[in-house]
Structure 1
Amino acid sequence: MRRVLLTFFSFISFFCFAQNEDDAVVEGELNATVINAQTSYPMVSVHVINLNKVVGTITDQEGKFKIQAAVNDTLYLSFLGFKSQKVRVTNDMFKFEGTEIALTELAYALEEVIVKPYLLTGYLEIDVKNLPINNAYQYSISGLQKSYEGGSKSPSAVTKVLGAILNPADLLRNLFGKKPKQMRKLRQMKEDEDIRNLLASKFDRETLTELLQLEKVDLEDILNNCNYSRSFINTANDLQILDAISSCYEEYKVLNRR
């Protein structure tokens, strides 16, 4: 009887140990392959970002990639012309080789485009007058170490300048004080070369919103209140937007310490 009980408890102990081992958080280098969902062919140069650890990489000629990750981390995959995808890391992805992630090609319905070229006469004085004028002026005030974009693209520029003079710390505290976790990722994003290369080629703010866990309207609100013109917000690539937000956040931290 004693031998039976000993065997039973040994089995229970082994089962619990195995279960705890399975439930343990696995962390390390994750290997996987990205393929085209329609053709099953490997995809080259797909950008892969770990949103939790804020590190990135790209797939090689065989569609394979390696990235530091832990169970329950979220990977964000993007490639031009394909639907971006978020993948939750699981234990099985570490245990078994050959993990494949499929991306689906986007179907764009092209609408009729009407091109309106500038009517050039060949006379410089006349043609220069017909070109559109960008009224994105900058206000520079003696004593302040920065200038403020204004003009028709930013009708409230004067108000922003006066607000920054009267109480600059409060203005930025309202922007960043409620988002400390998101803003702490800025430095990590700027230091990762793969993430910077990806952002330099994108203009849709999609990757930025995923990394910072902010809505697109939040990004625009931050830039508006940091005195960037509408022209800059609409035309800058995602890396320029990242650098602009980071610069504004560094200014906030300096003012907040004071």
Structure 2
Amino acid sequence: MSPQKIVPSPCSFSSASTCRPWLRLSHFLHLALIGSAFFLGACAGPGLTSYRKGDYPKALREFQKDPSPKGDFAVGVMQFKGEGTDRAPEEAALSFQRAAERGHAGAQYNLGVLYLRGEGVQRDREESARWFREAAERGDVKAQVNLGLQYAMGDGVEKDLGEAVHWFTKAAKRGYPKAQICLGKLYAYGAGVARDRNMAAYWFRRAAEQGSLQGQLFLGVMYAEGEGVEKDREAAASWFRKAQEQGSLQAKWYLDHLE
């Protein structure tokens, strides 16, 4: 039996027509999670001390005493997660709104998420994009990726792949793997930017080296097909194995079908 070639699939670049859903916003909703990491690094004082000890009611009381945007942001996170109080998305949205209007990027991102999901507020894609933009302009990488996705799909904003490239590039240069994957795809398909398989491989590699399963798969395919890199079966197999170790069934399929 002659060796089987890798055939076009959602992870192949040989036919853009097979990949039209590649930037569907719903595929990336896992990006749109309430951000609390900044909360843990920005709210110094007795509230944070109590929070780290697991004394959520006391932490909430302390954060409520903080008149700064950071206080409102922390309160919003706890209200949304139901820590120290009953879970209350509507109250969380009001807390985030107060902080967002005073320029808190994390609150702006979270408010964008709530409008995107219609949780605690009426679903409004345009309002979501507005708050993602506010946060993105303040350097929030998750907001930059979500705003880029909205521009790529014309979701809440007029479709503009050039703007999508702009926001993905900002986040990708700061080392954010999701942005690197999105940007690599744009270069691979020549969407919003001149088609450049070398640049696609570059960004996929940046993501793959950080442990991104998608990056490992895409880079493996490029090595298998000789797209943007010199064709190299061993390199392809190496990246597919890394993805398979993370539980990817697609990676196993590619390994089984390498020439």
TM-score by length of 1: 0.19
Report the structure, 1 or 2, having the larger helix content: 2
Greater relative contact order (CA < 8 Å, ≥ 6 in sequence): 1
